[in-house]
Structure 1
Amino acid sequence: MRRTRIAFFDVDGTLTTDTTLFRFLRYYLAALGHAPHVYEQRRQRLKAMTDIGVPREETNRAYFENFKGSSAPTVTRLAREWFAAELRQGGFLNDHALAALRRHQANGDPVVLVSGSFPACLEPIAAHLGADETWCTPPEITRGHYTGRLIRPPMIGEAKAEAVLMVASAYRTTPSHCTAYGDHISDVPMLSLTGSATVVGGDKDLRDLARSRSWQLLPGAPGTPACPGPPTAAPRTESPGRPQHN
């Protein structure tokens, strides 16, 4: 009997040419009528955390403070509009990784997205790609509004490896019979767990590691398109949340 071979894909920087979290945040703030500098301030705060060595899991948590108090239906609707705008503009999906995903689907392999992004951003992407499952970072939503907190730890690092173990068990297969794709050092736990792995783009250290472990390499994106904006910026009707400062 043929064992199931699951293909696990990171999303940001692997299947996409840029980060869903930040491209959507820019679109979302503009759609609510905020000036561009509001996004830049939010983005720079998170970048400063990264620059001083704050772990990626913590910067991911801090990102979701941007949606504190936001209407969940509004976020979902705008995320669908955002991804539709990305598709119209073109250049957002990495053709090399997308071709690999289509080959897995043609072979009958389940495709599972494993991402630090969140459902609102990932659901339209998963639907477009025809992914079988999506494992991601779950923001807490209470009474229809984001609280700015998470239900569980971000889907980053070891959390991705744990997701691979759980999915493989559910399909009654083993990680060693599966394959994974990623672009960032935080994807190494997932890449190391599967029987075969591919680094998409990635920095020199990650690609050197891939060569030392006989992982495959795919090109990264040749360039990143400008972020699409909403058709018209609506008057601001809700707060997009404010970062918390200690």
Structure 2
Amino acid sequence: MSTDTRSERDRFPRSATPLSRPAPSRPAAPARPAGPRRLVFFDVDETLIGRKSGPDFLRDHFVRTHGADGARRAGELLGALAGLPRAEANRRFHRAFRGCRAAEVEAAARRWYEEHSRADGFYLPTTLAALRRHRAEGASVALVSGTFPPLLAVIAEAVGARFALGAKLERCGPLLTGELIGPPAIGQGKRTLVRRLLARHPDIDPADCSAYGDHPSDLPMLHSVGHAVMVAPDGTHTTVAPHAGGTGGDG
């Protein structure tokens, strides 16, 4: 059997014209998510859900963590907050979590939602139906709430809200300091958050947007859009008359 002893270069002469190598393929740049066409804002407690999520979670978490003593401490704290202005009560509420590990509290918030959201009446059916209708019509949903931020994030995820607007929890390493970053999402605080989001989308006319709330403190938010709804304790929806100053009114 004969063996060809010529070198590889001799057996396959180099072409006079170098062969061009194909350019390496680059992955296509990910498509940017389309901006919202219209925005709909929902308060959470007693508007979208039929309870006050923050106090409910605090009692649940304190009992799991401290037993009967936790139940007593939660009752004392919530009783002390009852007579305070809403924004101040909101700040003091969050100070109850000073020193808690953020990851543990976030996991507890998710557990609370998974357990309690199964209960009849957790969501107000009329408001949940309105939220789903707005989404089906192409609107992007924003939840605006002063509730405990990890709860807001979980509920926003569950209902398909694109935005969760509220104050942030301050951290020191893995621990919560008990303080909020930014003003509580109460009263004018909600209005500020709504207007800030609208300013990020100047192509959206606030007059084409909607908002849902249940309390007079929600009026600054409701008066920031063209279509506002007040939700009664039984879930009945009542249209709120436009503010005299239009969507720029202070409420």
Does TM-score exceed 0.5, indicating one fold?
yes
2:241 corresponds in structure 1 to 213
Please, which moves more after superposition, 113-122 or 58-67?
A: 113-122
Helix, strand or coil at the partner of 2:66: coil
2:139 corresponds in structure 1 to 109
Cα deviation digits, residues 180-217 of structure 1 (max 9, x gap): 000011100011111010001169xxx9xx677279xx
Amino acid at match of 1:30: V
1:37 to 72, 87, 92: 72
Whole-Å separation in 1 of the counterparts to 2:226 and 2:123: 25
Whole-Å separation in 1 of the counterparts to 2:39 and 2:162: 10
Please, which moves more after superposition, 66-75 or 27-36?
A: 27-36
Whole-Å separation in 1 of the counterparts to 2:194 and 2:118: 32
2:59 corresponds in structure 1 to 26
- Give 4+ residue runs of structure 1 displaced > 4 Å after superposition: none
1:227 corresponds in structure 2 to none
- The aligned runs of 1:28-107 (5 Å cut-off) are 28-35=61-68, 36-47=71-82, 50=83, 54-107=84-137
Q: 1:212 to 1:142 in 2, by over 3 A?
A: closer
Q: 1:146 to 1:165 in 2, by over 3 A?
A: same
Q: 1:118 to 1:37 in 2, by over 3 A?
A: closer
User: Would the aligned equivalents of 1:184 and 1:202 in 2 still touch at CA under 8 Å?
Assistant: no
Count, aligned residues: 203
Q: 1:73 to 1:198 in 2, by over 3 A?
A: same
Q: CA deviation at 1:171?
A: 2.4
User: Would the aligned equivalents of 1:164 and 1:175 in 2 still touch at CA under 8 Å?
Assistant: no
RMSD: 2.0
Whole-Å separation in 2 of the counterparts to 1:56 and 1:101: 26
User: Would the aligned equivalents of 1:138 and 1:151 in 2 still touch at CA under 8 Å?
Assistant: yes
Q: CA deviation at 1:4?
A: 2.5
Kindly indicate which of the two structures has a greater share of residues assigned to helix: 1
2:26 corresponds in structure 1 to none
1:17 corresponds in structure 2 to 50
Please, which moves more after superposition, 30-39 or 190-199?
A: 30-39
Q: In the alignment, does 2:223 pair up with 1:188?
A: no
Q: CA deviation at 1:30?
A: 1.4
User: Would the aligned equivalents of 1:118 and 1:138 in 2 still touch at CA under 8 Å?
Assistant: no
2:41 corresponds in structure 1 to 8
* Structure of larger gyration radius: 2
1:178 corresponds in structure 2 to 209
Which consecutive unaligned segments of at least 5 residues does structure 2 have? 1-35, 244-251
Helix, strand or coil at the partner of 2:176: strand
Amino acid at match of 1:9: F
1:132 corresponds in structure 2 to 162
Which consecutive unaligned segments of at least 5 residues does structure 1 have? 216-246
Helix, strand or coil at the partner of 1:155: coil
Q: CA deviation at 1:64?
A: 0.9
Whole-Å separation in 2 of the counterparts to 1:64 and 1:57: 11
Amino acid at match of 2:61: Y
User: Would the aligned equivalents of 2:230 and 2:239 in 1 still touch at CA under 8 Å?
Assistant: no
Helix, strand or coil at the partner of 1:32: helix
Amino acid at match of 1:213: A
Q: CA deviation at 1:117?
A: 1.2
User: Would the aligned equivalents of 1:4 and 1:171 in 2 still touch at CA under 8 Å?
Assistant: no
1:198 to 229, 241, 250: 229
Whole-Å separation in 2 of the counterparts to 1:110 and 1:158: 22
Helix, strand or coil at the partner of 1:198: strand
